[in-house]
Amino acid sequence: MKISQIDITEYNPFKNLTLDLTYPKGHPKEGKPLNKVCFLGKSGTGKTSLLNLIRATLTANLTTEHDQVLQGTLNQNISRADKTLIVITAFFKAVKSIIEIREGGKILWEWKTSQVSPKQFIETFYLGKNKLISFPAEIITNLNQILQEKPVSPVSYLKTAVEFDQPKHSQKPQIFDFETDNVLAIWNEILTDINAYKIKELKYSQQITKALDISAAEGERAFQNYKHWKAEHPNPLEKLAQQLDIILNKFSLTVKTSFDFESVEDLKFIEIQSVDGTEIPYSGWSTGTKQVILTMTPLFKLNTDDSIILLDEPERSLYPDIQTEIINYYTTLAPNAQLFFATHSPIIASAFEPWEIVELKFNQLGTVYQEKYYQGERQVDNYFIDPRYLRWDVILMRVFDLAVEGNEKFRNKALTQAARLEDILSKLKAENKIETEEGQKIGPVIKNGPLNSLGD
């Protein structure tokens, strides 16, 4: 599924707002839904509200009404008026569908073709697919709140194959919402193959140990069986490490792919270590490290084809050099999904084409509108702002509306001080007193002090 347009009559700060989420005229993908979208704007302009709207729509329980319509109710009430509030236009491959959200959170979903019945629609586009993966800004906080005052590592609460019978995969559409209270259950699902692999390797280790107690020959036979199994079953952690280490190496960290089996914790979750091999416990992970692992791992492990992916504030706890690359990593991990981001970061914004950015602003009445980056027709050549080609300071001023360059109050104070010192120095030069104690003090202040960094 990919969303091509959102029409809002009234919802939170929005009123009579239309968001065109397609590629503009002149683009090779003209008219098709955008692969990624960036919501940006001041606090309160509704960036997260738009993510919540999409999340609520995709988590609604739908039933068949008649031949071409599904109906249901949103899990959260987003209505504020007795009329149609929101219309979302979405495509499932080439099949166009219209989703209406009405008073009381009622939802009506129909598609513009007579060749697809509700049953066929669900079986073709929903059955066995992951339709939503949602990462809230508080993804780390949510996990820590669940753990509360228990040990600070989630490994104690993540089950392994020895602790429960593996559940059969549900045939219902899959939702991976990391804002819900079943976050640990979600991680069990994501790490099923890794945990199963660890259990299998532990069993082979035990078999080899028992065989060696019998004879060296039996031990060698068991070891050869293990080597044969390992050759046919690559370690899934090694594939995960290839993806995560691209970022983790910038923190001088790497995913630990070997198993020590010194404790039950070696059978659970993901372990990381410094580049010199020192293991880093979960309590020692930085928030940036957690952000990377908790968001990138699901995108790599889950099937994201035709999924909607929501990421609120992807820049959290990430240094600017990581922010410059993180959007590209996300899109690479989920190339056939549609990704929606909400951000305050100019660095994150610079990763998007201008038609992929939805900048939200307040008008004089307090409602929100979309700032246009083009003049006239919505056509590629008519866009006059492209954050990809702007310096960070220019993005801050032209896109984020920062009125001044730097700390103006400090700058003005420093310039005033510089002018005063220059005046004193000029008088000392005129009076031939530059070599005096006062002159010797003023010269280095002007040359080496903070005033020197102000520029022209």
Residue 387: which residues within 8 A CB-CB, separation 6 or more? 346, 349, 350, 352, 354, 357, 395, 399
The answer to whether residue 169 scores a pLDDT higher than 50 is no
pLDDT tens per residue across span 292-350? 998 999 999 999 998 999 999 999 989 888 998 999 999 999 999 999 999 998 889 99
Integer Cα distance of 62 and 72 in angstroms = 4
CA count, 13 A, side-chain hemisphere, 292? 28
**Domain topology for 2-129+304-398:** Rossmann fold (3.40.50)
CA count, 13 A, side-chain hemisphere, 335? 1
Q: What is the mean pLDDT of the chain?
A: 81
Least reliable range by pLDDT among 206-210, 375-379, 424-428, 452-456: 452-456
Angle, CA 14 vertex, CA 11 and CA 15 arms, to 5°: 95
- 455 versus 280: the higher-pLDDT residue is 280
Domain limits, the chain: 2-129+304-398, 144-289, 408-454
**pTM flag (> 0.85):** no
Q: Six-digit token pair at 222?
A: 């068991």
pLDDT tens per residue across span 70-82? 788 887 655 454 4
The answer to whether residue 85 scores a pLDDT higher than 90 is no
pLDDT tens per residue across span 120-159? 666 666 666 788 999 998 877 777 666 544 444 555 555 5
Q: Six-digit token pair at 329?
A: 């990593």
Integer Cα distance of 44 and 274 in angstroms = 40
Q: Six-digit token pair at 361?
A: 């602003």
407 confidence band (pLDDT: 50, 70, 90): low
pLDDT, position 159: 53
